[in-house]
Amino acid sequence: MLRRRLNRLLGGDENRVDSRTIYVGHQPCSATEGFTPPKFCDNRIVSSKYTLWNFLPKNLFEQFRRIANFYFLIIFLVQVIVDTPTSPVTSGLPLFFVITVTAIKQGYEDWLRHKADNEVNKYPVRVLEDGRQTSKESEKIKVGDIVEVIEDETFPCDLILLQSSREDDTCFVTTASLDGESNHKTHYTVPDTEKDLESLSATIECEQPQPDLYKFVGRMHIYKPDQDPLVRSLGPENLLLKGATLKNTKKIYGVAVYTGMETKMALNYQGKSQKRSAVEKSINAFLLVYLCILVSKALVCTSLKYWWQSRDGQDEPWYNQKTQKEKDTNMYLKMFTDFLSFMVLFNFIIPVSMYVTVEMQKFLGSFFISWDKDFFDPEIREGALVNTSDLNEELGQVEYVFTDKTGTLTQNNMEFIECCIDGFQYKYRDSRTELDGFCVTDGPVSKLQQKAGREKEELFLRALCLCHTVQVKEAGSQVDGDQVDGLDHLNPHPEEEERGFIASSPDEVALVKGAMKYGFTFLGLESKNMKIRNRQNDVEEYELLHVLNFDPVRRRMSVIVKSKAGETLLFCKGADSSIFPRVRQEEVERIRMHVERNATEGYRTLCVAFKQLSAEEFALADAELREARLALQDREEKLMAVYNQVETGMSLIGATAVEDRLQEEAAETMEALQGAGMKVWVLTGDKMETAKSTCYACRLFQRGTELLELTVRTLEEGGRKREERLHDLLLEYHRRAVQDAPPVKGGVTRSWSTANQDYGFIIDGATLSLIMNPSLDASSSRHKNLFLQICQNCTAVLCCRMAPLQKAQIVKMVKNSKGSPITLSIGDGANDVSMILEAHVGIGIKGKEGRQAVRNSDYAIPKLKHLKKLLLAHGHLYYVRIAHLVQYFFYKNLCFILPQFLYQFFCGYSQQPLYDAAYLTMYNICFTSMPILAYSLLEQHITIEVLLDNATLYREVAKNAMLRWGPFLYWTVLGVFQGLLFFFGAWFLFSNPALQDNGQVFGNWSYGTIVFTVLVFTVTLKLALDTRHWTWINHFVIWGSLAFYVFFSFFWGGIIWPFLKQQRLYFVFANMLSSVSAWLVIILLILLSLMPDILLAVLRRPKSPRARQKIPGQSSAGGTQSSRSSARPLLMRTFSDESNTVI
């Protein structure tokens, strides 16, 4: 029994390790095998954290895991247990408030999650069971169930497509809700499954659930009576993902393979790593300082207390006897409780409310980003998106910007510019002006005929028409916003006006359109037959045999087609670097020239090659491809090997150039960023020449910039070993860029100055991997160091030919370099996700390449140009706001608690609080909280316009300037000064406590109230002094707080409160106000406390007006000059002109 169970357990384990077996429709497959339905999780999606029962304990537990909350809980407990000077209410109430608000917020959010979960889980689905169709709730689907889905429904779990209502055994889905790509994707049924699903007897073997949306390997065994089981390979094209929507297909049947939390969607939504901002680190450092202050204060007081008590008659004078209990307490225990009491008395120095205010500030503040109408893009009808509010202030601290090129710097809006066939250039000159120039027999054709042979030409155009994965949008089907092609309307053919193309990459559409311009129109793919209409308006048909998919490593794709004539052809297109080695070398030179010229102009180039496959060759390739596709393990590698083997010995037929236009204001944005002292690194997968010209176009490189190149080409120039050459080059560049450069003076003058030579650095992926993972271990760190130093001294760095992971690697390297600079990554595509996640701040562009980048980003903006405002205005302001908030909070609590500390010296170290409990509690909650919150939301010490016009202003807050130890010290000294002033001002006054004109005297509560009044007014007015931007809200809140304080004090002292044990403040405030002396001392102390600030503001005076004056003079750094130039710079224009003359 036990053994059997153990066996099963082990067996189960085994299953879990590599793959799972699914019985389609829960049908036993062969008599020999015992049918034991394996256990899988059910199809319930649980994204909620709590249930009704565990909410309270679990939520409390999680809240108190935060160190701050825990600290306040401890303080509270100490107050409850130990006899402490202040009642537990003073710290319990704020803590309770904070905890409750957070709990309510989290509870509400969890309730929303529950609701959403239920909506998904209770959704009715139809399941085939024993031949009957039954309706079930979505959550009851089990692995192996056959599920029916109709058009426009979302898939309830991950399904393997078995049957489609479409004749060609395909179905279309959109994964808009998964990755944002709204184009229709084709999925295929498993071949050779029976039409009658009821009698289908099959098992599916597939890998265990994993989160990669685009990977799936599996195998289906189909058992037929009297036959050997058929084996069919399953790939991502057979898998329908939960969350995707069925389109254009009446209904499909599929078998559930992954359910519930094991679906790819659920696996993908399991949290992101939390990013912490630098400000938070500063807060923690300051907290530590204040904790030290707190502990040392308590220690000083405790030790002084015992020293004082040891003197005669002080410990227990006759008028102040101890209780019996106190007398009995152990001396050391008493010391300890005294220490705790002092801690409690001074604990307000680290206020609960700071956390609340900081959180509120971040949360509410982030609304301004999503509210900003400047971020609204009319094209996609969306504004900015804030995924996290934790990093607002980090936007004002960015030192390194890593940007993707395609789709970020450029529009990813491809336009076919020209092509080169067999070494002859074809440029479609009038494409923009002449609308009806696309006729088959029109001008360009005659030109074509002069250049290359007609054969070659047509072959090339056919290649363009065949070698792609573009789909033709079906006429009549309404397609929403996925206009990958912006040129639809240019099409003169009436019947083609409805024709749109859908593709995963805009390049492909541009190429197909390009071919169309030259007379070859792709009509569509129908049951493995590709139809094209040639120049003679004949329809040619090709049978699509294989698609060798594009992947970023191979950087090429191929198709194998069979023409009507029976020829088997392989067409391949890809990056020059990946095509050139695979074609006959004599053809390369003619075309290389064109490719390189096109690349320098900033076009994206692709080379097209073809190869005729003999029957044997094809048979071999076919067999190998099929085998590789069936492989369960290492399928990718095996496929790659076969692809590489097939794509050899081709002949080059031509090259294409597609223009990817710059984003609006890309150059201005980049210039502003550089002016703001940020270093911009372009990380792209594109080739060097293209990327370089984009950099010139964006003015990252300028004419005076000296380029330091470190690419495979420069490495191979010397003819020596790469490593040696690399070493030499690095040393040389280091000498030039680092050693010869004048020493950089701190953050402000960094990198932007006209006198110095600007350096630009170019590196490619291969070289980078040489630097990052060299063969010689000894030199590795040295190389890396040299590289980093060079890069840090360059204004712009271009890294081309980067794999996504290399991008992240670079970001990580910079992030961890000396001084740990703040990095920002911006990108729009799935290939940028890794660097977006790696950088301190990740920005996604709501671009064309799906929503993956947006989903993983911290902030998403529609266009690159919005980055400027996001950083220079929002980031700067947020930083100033939160930095001021933090400093102010520490300051106001220091001068709040310092008098209380000083008072201990005059009350026999007895922990007597100076202020009444109500004041202690309300100080941070009511009296001083609102003005700083309003300030931290509304302050614009420099208006947004000025910030945008003067990029250099950004440098004033660089390197965490407002939260370094210097400013912190200033605030602390200010707090100490004011605290001393408050206390001793009142102390001198109370040397004669007869302060009223009727000779009556004031007591200790009057003393505290005077100090407290001065305190509240001073800290509020101090903030008023710092406020540079007085909106009505600021006025309301600042004057309102003061008025509220006065009102509250009257009210609190005006009534005998039945629930209070002691009526300490009864008419204390009113009596205080009836004393002229009290008025005079309050006014004097407030004025004196604010004096240093006023003085400093006056002495610092030249600074802020200068910033404003700079607008006309200094703007060369920022905006005005750049706005004059058009998007395409001079350099590019001359090149293009030149190319025109070639024709």
Q: Which residues are catalytic?
A: 404
| Of residues 68-87, those binding another protein (CB under 8 A) | 85
Q: In angstroms, rounded to a whole number, what is the distance separating the alpha carbons of residues 598 and 409?
A: 18
Cβ-proximal residues to 535 (8 Å cutoff; 6+ apart), any chain: 440, 441, 445, 458, 519, 520
Asked if 58 contacts 50 with a C-beta cutoff of 8 angstroms, the reply is yes
Residue 373 Cβ, how far from another protein at the closest point, in Å? Answer: 5
- Rounded least distance, CB 338 to another protein, Å: 11
Q: Is 406 within any annotated ligand binding site?
A: yes
- Residue 947: which of 1017, 1034, 877, 1037 has the closest Cα? 877
Cβ closest to another protein, residue 551 vs residue 997:
997
Site string for another protein, 916-955 (x = CB under 8 A): ----------------------x-x--xx-----------
H/E element, 157: none
- Please, are residues 682 and 799 in contact by the beta-carbon 8 Å criterion? yes
Report, in Å, the least distance between residue 1074 CB and another protein. 10
750 marked among binding-site residues: no
Nearest to 572 by CA among 583, 562, 564: 583
Q: What are the φ/ψ torsions at residue 310 (nearest 5 degrees)?
A: -75, -15
* Sites for another protein among residues 953-992 (CB under 8 A): 985, 987-992
Among 177, 578, 779, 780, binds another protein (CB under 8 A): 177
- Sketch the per residue contact string, 1069 through 1108, with another protein: x for CB under 8 A, - otherwise: -xx---xxx--xx--x--xx--x--xx-xx--xx-xxx--
Site for another protein in 93-122 (CB under 8 A): 106, 109-110, 112-113, 116-117, 119-120
- Per-residue binding string, another protein, 988-1017, x by CB under 8 A, is xxxxxxxxxxxxxxxxxxxxx---------
Candidate ranges 218-226, 308-316, 521-529, 560-568; the one touching another protein (CB under 8 A):
308-316
The residue among 883, 895, 484, 400 whose CA lies nearest residue 673 is: 400
Cα distances from 490 to residues 183, 741, 868, 898, 1064, in angstroms, run 21, 53, 34, 76, 85
Taking residue 1007's Cβ as centre, other Cβ atoms within 10 Å add up to 23
685 a known binding residue? yes
Of 1-9, 517-525, 776-784, 1030-1038, the segment contacting another protein by CB under 8 A is: 1030-1038
The yes or no reply on residue 539 touching another protein (CB under 8 A) is no
Closest CA to 405 of 78, 835, 39, 20: 835
Name the helix (H) or strand (E) containing 756.
Answer: none
Site for another protein in 140-159 (CB under 8 A): 154
Strand order across the beta sheet in which 410-421 lies: 424-427, 410-421, 651-662, 603-613, 568-574, 556-563, 539-551, 529-533, 521-526
Q: Would you say 67 or 623 has its CB closer to another protein? A: 67
Residue from the set 1033, 1073, 1111, 1131 that interacts with another protein by CB under 8 A: 1033
The answer to whether 404 is annotated as binding is yes
Q: Which residues in the 1110-1129 window bind another protein by CB under 8 A?
A: 1110, 1113
Q: Which residues ranging from 342 to 381 are in contact with another protein (CB under 8 A)? A: 363, 366-368, 370-373, 375-376, 381
| Residue nearer to another protein on the CB measure, 172 or 1005 | 1005
Residue among 89 and 1097 whose Cβ is closer to another protein: 1097
Q: Does 1060 interact with another protein (rule: CB under 8 A)?
A: yes
Told to check if 334 binds another protein by CB under 8 A, we report no
Nearest distance from C-beta of residue 1085 to another protein, angstroms: 9
Segment 1039 to 1058, residues that bind another protein, using CB under 8 A: 1056
Q: Which of 313, 476, 494, 566 is the binder for another protein (CB under 8 A)?
A: 313
Is 828 annotated for ligand binding?
yes
Q: How far is the CB of 322 from another protein (least distance, A)?
A: 7
Output 45 or 570, the one with its CB closest to another protein: 45
Run of H or E including 177: helix 176-179
Closest alpha carbon to 643 in 626, 623, 620, 625: 625
Q: What is the CA radius of gyration of the chain?
A: 37
Where do we find the tokens 């932007």? 752
HSE-up of residue 889 (Cα within 13 Å, Cβ side): 29
Q: What angle do CA 708, 710, 716 make, to 5 degrees?
A: 130
Q: Which of residues 205-244 bind another protein (CB under 8 A)?
A: 243
582 is in an annotated binding site: no
- Least distance (Å) from another protein to the CB of residue 158? 14
- To the question of whether residue 784 is assigned a binding role by annotation, the answer is no
The answer to whether 503 and 559 have CB atoms below 8 angstroms apart is: no
Quick check: helix, strand or coil at residue 203?
Answer: strand
Count the residues in the chain: 1143
**What minimum distance in Å lies between the beta carbon of 999 and another protein?**
4
CA distances from 45 to 105, 114, 134, 147, 623 (A): 22, 10, 21, 17, 41
Q: Is residue 573 marked as binding?
A: yes
| Tokens at 719, concatenated | 């003819």
Angle at 142 between CA 138 and CA 143, to 5 degrees: 125
- Single out the residue of 21, 27, 38, 49 in contact with another protein (rule: CB under 8 A): 49
Which residues define the annotated binding site for ATP?
404-406, 508, 550, 573, 604, 684-686, 801, 807, 831-832
Per the annotation, binding residues are 404-406, 508, 550, 573, 604, 684-686, 801, 807, 828, 831-832
